[in-house]
Structure 1
Amino acid sequence: MGQTIVNSEAWTVLLGGGALRAEDLRAVRERTLHLVAADGGGDVALRHGVIPDAVIGDFDSLSDLARSEIPADRLHHIPEQDSTDFEKCLTRIDAPMILGLGFTGARIDHELAVYHVLTKYPSKRCVIVGEEDVCAHVAGDIEFDVELGSRVSLFPMGAVTGRSEGLRWPIDGIEFAPDLRVGTSNEATASRVRVSFDGPGMLLILPKDSLWSLVDGLLR
């Protein structure tokens, strides 16, 4: 990991340059203290009237205008090319919860790289907020509240097994792997669902209206 740039006891927004709904940014900012931008996410922040507390990245997509409008001491240039801007940020933010917006809906390779990084750093609590869904890496147990019938999807980034309570199709004993078995569109049969896994590697994907329940489950 790189040297910590943002150290906070408060939740932090991490903003990318992908698809973003203004109402989503407003909603998460009501519960967070800091906003960090990943490279070109600095331009996105300015378009939404926000000056980020820090911009971290290789700056290949940050505009000259953004560089002139954001204070120089908030610009953290990390030139190495062995990691993505998302990884550069995630490894330099120390916060109890990171809410990532603007990392879906644009380039597929960039979005896939985000999910790779989530599983690479299982100690980081981070939820990716998309246009329709929210996604987090789960390495262990999690309980979360959902509406009956809500979609609960599981996508493995590696070989992993688990157990479940409150799902229409229990996952107990199933061997998951990207090239073997995935858990798309399972369904909640209880208001509280519990899943647990024998190690890192599983992405949990829920409808966006379950965001705060997912956050609570990760922090519990």
Structure 2
Amino acid sequence: MNRKRVVIFSGGDLYPQYINEIQPADFVIGADKGALFLIRHGIKPDLAVGDFDSISPQELKHVRAESGNIIECDPVDKDLSDTELAFEMAARQEPDFILLIGGTGTRMDHTLANVQMLNWALQHQIRCAIMDRNNYITLTGSTIEVLDRGFKYVSLLPMTPEVTGITLEGFQYPLEDATLKMGDSLGISNVLLGDRGQVSIASGLLLVIQSRD
């Protein structure tokens, strides 16, 4: 079976270099002004979704003309955020992996909601990551390989009240069958020894955040 990626461009912080993350076979979704960003940088999204309340009527007309398909919803009478709607549409593609770009920014509520979408993806058995200029964020409930992506630090933060059986391989500060609780700082600012490492846990959900200053 072919491996398939979906790349979502949401309405948070967006920078031109993000376009380089798109691979030729990717299914590309633009959520709200993420769709306009793609179009302005020469990418025709396969799907544009959202209420489009952050762009002008003329810009929305441009998005309608330049997108493969578009799903519009009312900005008031809706139950899902634009990014959550994009995730639901992404799941319909039955992807192996979802990459969310523009999922972080000045709105902490949106940023945290998008981080929680990692759990949604995990429940749907889809690998997922959130990427911005300073962070690459993933979530595991079992074992995950951490690749050197040019970020200096790797931090581990519980997404559940307690995460048990944490074992690290290939890190400067190893752990063996450790437990982390919410608020613990033991997992902050570790460093890969080589080009990859492995994080395994026995129970709970663990955020793995690669970051730089």
TM-score with structure 2 setting the length: 0.79
Tell me which residue corresponds to 1:213.
Answer: none
Q: Which of 141, 150, 156 does residue 158 from structure 2 map onto?
A: 156
Offset, 1:68: 1.1
Structure 1 residues 9-50: Cα deviation after superposition (integer angstroms, max 9, x where no partner):
63222001111221221x212354321011221222233233
Tell me which residue corresponds to 2:88.
Answer: 91
Relative to structure 1, the CA distance from residue 10 to residue 121 in structure 2 (aligned partners, 3 Å threshold; closer, same or farther) is closer
> 1:184 aligned to 2:185?
no
Q: Which of 45, 60, 65 does residue 38 from structure 2 map onto?
A: 45
Relative to structure 1, the CA distance from residue 76 to residue 194 in structure 2 (aligned partners, 3 Å threshold; closer, same or farther) is same
Offset, 1:85: 1.9
Relative to structure 1, the CA distance from residue 141 to residue 67 in structure 2 (aligned partners, 3 Å threshold; closer, same or farther) is same
Relative to structure 1, the CA distance from residue 178 to residue 77 in structure 2 (aligned partners, 3 Å threshold; closer, same or farther) is farther
- In the alignment, is the contact (CA less than 8 A) between 2:9 and 2:101 conserved in 1? yes
d(CA) in 2 for partners of 1:149, 1:34: 26
Structure 1 residues 66-123: Cα deviation after superposition (integer angstroms, max 9, x where no partner):
3312337722134564332222211221322222111123311111111111123312
TM-score with structure 1 setting the length: 0.77
Give 5+ residue unaligned stretches, structure 2.
Answer: none
Tell me which residue corresponds to 1:75.
Answer: 70
Tell me which residue corresponds to 1:165.
Answer: 169
The CA RMSD over aligned residues, in Å, is: 2.8
- In the alignment, is the contact (CA less than 8 A) between 2:163 and 2:205 conserved in 1? yes
Give 5+ residue unaligned stretches, structure 1.
Answer: 1-7, 209-220
Moved over 6 A (4+): none
Aligned-residue sequence identity (percent) comes to 28
Relative to structure 1, the CA distance from residue 96 to residue 184 in structure 2 (aligned partners, 3 Å threshold; closer, same or farther) is same
- In the alignment, is the contact (CA less than 8 A) between 1:12 and 1:32 conserved in 2? no
Relative to structure 1, the CA distance from residue 135 to residue 62 in structure 2 (aligned partners, 3 Å threshold; closer, same or farther) is same
> 1:14 aligned to 2:8?
yes
- In the alignment, is the contact (CA less than 8 A) between 1:119 and 1:200 conserved in 2? no
**Matched ranges for 1:19-168 at <5 A:** 19-25=13-19, 27-71=20-64, 74-79=69-74, 81-93=78-90, 94=93, 95-122=95-122, 123-146=125-148, 150-158=152-160, 159-161=162-164, 162-168=166-172
d(CA) in 1 for partners of 2:73, 2:105: 25
